[in-house]
Amino acid sequence: MDAFAKLPEEINHLVSEFSSAPVVGDLTVGLTQYSFWLLVAAVVFAVVIFAFVKKQTLVPKGVFVNGVEYLIEYVENDVAKGVVGTGWRRHFPFLAAIFLFILVNNFIGLIPGMKPGTGAIGCTAALALVTFVYFVYYGCKKHGVLGYIKSLAPQGVMFPMNVFVWVIEVFSLLLRPITLAIRLFCNMFAGHIVMGSFSIMAALFAEPLLEHFSAMNAVGALPSVAWLIILLIIYAVELIVAFVQAYVFTVLAAVYIQIAESDEE
Amino acid sequence: MGVIGYGLGVIGAGLAIGLAAFGATSAMARQPEVQGRAFTVFILASAFTEALGLIGFVVTLIS
């Protein structure tokens, strides 16, 4: 097949397109395509939130106000109240900000031609690092610095095992931001690569038909219909993934905050 | 070679997602009233396991 011969080259081109490349300046000081769309997402986020605050009335009116309110209440009830429990009010702004920011970024990336700001490892690493510093800070505030370090080991374990468990707990604590960052990045990056490869397949199979119309080429172009259908299904899945990943990130942040603040007796 | 490695690695993630779906469906069948909660937990669990498969995918592409 002619189309399959061209495939690896096109996929390599696609992957190189998706790795961060500077548009303005260079990689140290500059704007990559991801940080450009990150800025766009931040502006969209700010516009939506300020419009929401301005339009807010005692009784919510209209689709827009109700929609944003639904999202925020979703975070409040499902994540803040459900996971953090007592003292959720203090952590609610942080959780809502992280959830909405990731959500806006993921959905911006799904519009064809745009890229998700969260599809670059730098962005997700920054988000995960902020979360890490946040929950360690609140853990230290609650227990004191020494108390927090001690509280990592579970109570009621005999002395020599105690130290061993503590080392493992510290290790898993340090792994948390890394897994948070990599999970979000991989989901966004891989999802877009898969969508890109299926659209490339659809284009490659239909190419001979567009160049020269004949019965042979028309039969050869039939698989591209199947690729298009698969592409649409994957797009629908990606819509769910965009939401689920924002939700997972927020829930995990809430779980970590809850663990850091809990007093194990 | 990397593609074969990815195929081997994704076996684990596939088994894990299958197990999560198995648990969710049997929980829903036994107790239909926990359907909403079980579905949320299932989505969360599959997001975790899916991430492992995707890490393999991205590492294969990058290396």
The domain locations on chain A are 2-261
The residues, ordered by sequence, that sit 6+ positions from A175 with a Cβ below 8 Å of its Cβ are none
Question: pLDDT per residue over A166-193, tens digit each?
Answer: 888 888 888 889 888 988 998 888 888 8
**Which tokens is B54 given?**
């995707």
H or E, element range at A250 = helix A222-261
Share of chain A above pLDDT 70, in %: 98
Q: Which letter, b or e, does each residue of A234-264 get, where b requires 16 or more Cβ atoms within 10 Å of its Cβ?
A: beeebeebbbbbbbbbbbbbbebbbebbeee
What are the residues facing A32 on neighbouring strands? Answer: A22
- Give the pLDDT confidence of A92-140 residue by residue, as tens digits: 999 999 999 999 999 988 888 888 888 888 889 999 999 999 999 998 8
| Chain B contact set for A182 (CB, 8 A) | 51, 55
Beta strands in chain A (DSSP E): 22-25, 30-32
Give the Cα separation of A227 and A229 in Å (integer).
5
Best residue in B61, B62, B63 for a mutation probing chain A (most A CBs within 10 Å)? B61
Q: Distance between CA atoms of A263 and A56, rounded to whole angstroms?
A: 39
Query: How many domains does one find in chain B?
Result: 1
- Residue B10 belongs to domain with CATH number: 1.20.20.10
ipTM: 0.75
Per-residue CA distances from A66 to A72, A103, A108, A151, B41 (Å): 10, 17, 21, 42, 26
CB pairs under 8 A between A and B: 32
Q: pTM to 2 decimals?
A: 0.85
- Phi, psi (deg, nearest 5) at residue A60: -60, 135
Span A240-256, average pLDDT = 90
pLDDT over 80 at A90, yes or no: yes
Share of chain B above pLDDT 90, in %: 35
Reported confidence tier of residue A265, pLDDT bands at 50, 70, 90: very low
pLDDT value at residue A43: 92
As beta bridge partners, residue A31 has A24
Alpha helices in A19-115 (DSSP H): 33-55, 62-74, 88-110
Q: Print the domain residue range for B34.
A: 2-62
- Put simply, whether B57 touches A (Cβ < 8 Å) is yes
Distance of CA A161 to the CA centre of its chain: 37
Average pLDDT rounded to a whole number, residues B28-43: 87
